[in-house]
Amino acid sequence: MKNEKVSRRGFFEASAGSAMVGAGAVLANPSHAAAQAVGVRTGDLPDLTINEVKVYVTDLGDVRRLNSGERGEIASIVTNSGIEGNYPLARNYWHPNWSNLGWLDYAKRRLIGKSVLDLPALTSQWSNRGRGQSAYAAAIDVCLWDILGKAVGLPIYRILGGYRDKQLAYASSFHLQTVEEFGPDAAKAKAEGFKAYKIHPGSGQRASGPPIPAYVGHMEEIRAVREAVGDDFILLHDPVQRYSREEAIKVGRLLDELGYVGFEDPIPTTDINGLVELTRALDVPIHVGEFIFSMYDFPEYILRGAVDVVRFIIDCVGGITPGMKIGHLAETFGMECTPHNWGEVMDLAAHFHCELALPNCKWFEMPYPMDAPDRAYHKDRFRIDEDGYVAAPTEPGLGYPLDRGALENMMQRIDR
């Protein structure tokens, strides 16, 4: 093992020459930004009055469940001009108010007769800022951005001020069952062209033998993965808030020793003092944000030094709009922002557009194996190229259109 250590600060890329005013203008008036991007006036856009909200209820069949409680429901918002926006309504993540039950009734009351041109007012969280985002907000926000992109024929990231047209990916493992599985899994990902790999540790138990403390097994996984891929391969570790402070320090010191460049959600996100302790004690960057449920709660973590790399989940913070605001907030502090990618194609797509538009984003998180997010009702798939990058979509809106024939074959019903 080389003696070189990866500096936490060296891993960051503080952005230079950022057009923060322009970025704020896009989020303050997305319809104007969209029209301007194609050289027309807002009044020249199609009729974007919302006349229908519905939910496609599908039979997912035998697919690998990436989300707890995934039901195969797809939100649909339709305008007078026939443009439709979509986003999954799966029950994705731990959230204090999380439930998409009742989304349809809420969205109909909120949206029918309104215009997509009023996107900021329709999705604003200002009045709810003290209680966390509405559980219904993300699907509405993403659907409206999808419609806006389709209205002007551009992928969303182009309206957001696209910073790049591809993003380097790391393979993000499932929580494999035994310690012995992780080394071969990482080696396979490297052979397929990935430039980095993230461990989502499992039970921390060996295939045979007496039980051991889970974090001890995770440390064996950390060593085995480094041995399997070599000293120069980029590695990250994400125990999903499972450690105590003491365990996190022990694991973190091993990550430092072996040159890992990310330690994500090591302890409960609510333990801000513990996160401050970890960022000060360890060289490996601490990634935090997936379990913060309002964009208004991020400043405290940044100001107190409880995070090195900012993350967010669109479903938890309320959509693309607040996600971009969080990314720009991190940028103003010279911090990297690497959004979470998990779920099916549309879940990944919504985060991908943020990543393509944020100058301070370095990675695309690819669920591994790569076919895990695939759905029959999408013709397009997320895959890396020979250099380990994911190319930006070229289709408008979310950029991964529904295969209507396949969707019809999987349809159980349409709730209106």
**Structure confidence at residue 17 (pLDDT):** 37
Q: What span, in angstroms and rounded, lies between the C-alpha atoms of 20 and 164?
A: 17
Q: Which domains does the chain have, with CATH numbers?
A: 8-16+159-402 (3.20.20.120), 31-155+405-415 (3.30.390.10)
Helix (H) or strand (E) holding 275: helix 272-281
184-232 residue pLDDT tens: 999 999 999 999 999 999 999 999 999 999 999 999 999 999 999 999 9
Residue 364 has pLDDT above 70, yes or no: yes
Residue 12 has pLDDT above 50, yes or no: no
Per the document, the length of the chain is 416
Report the predicted TM-score, pTM, of the whole model to 2 decimal places: 0.92
**Structure confidence at residue 253 (pLDDT):** 98
**Structure confidence at residue 325 (pLDDT):** 97
Nearest of 322, 262, 329 to residue 301 by alpha carbon: 329
Residue type, 360: N
For the chain, report the end-to-end CA distance as a whole number of angstroms: 60
**Structure confidence at residue 24 (pLDDT):** 79
Mean pLDDT value across the chain: 90
Residue 61 has pLDDT above 70, yes or no: no
Q: What span, in angstroms and rounded, lies between the C-alpha atoms of 250 and 261?
A: 16
Q: What span, in angstroms and rounded, lies between the C-alpha atoms of 295 and 304?
A: 16
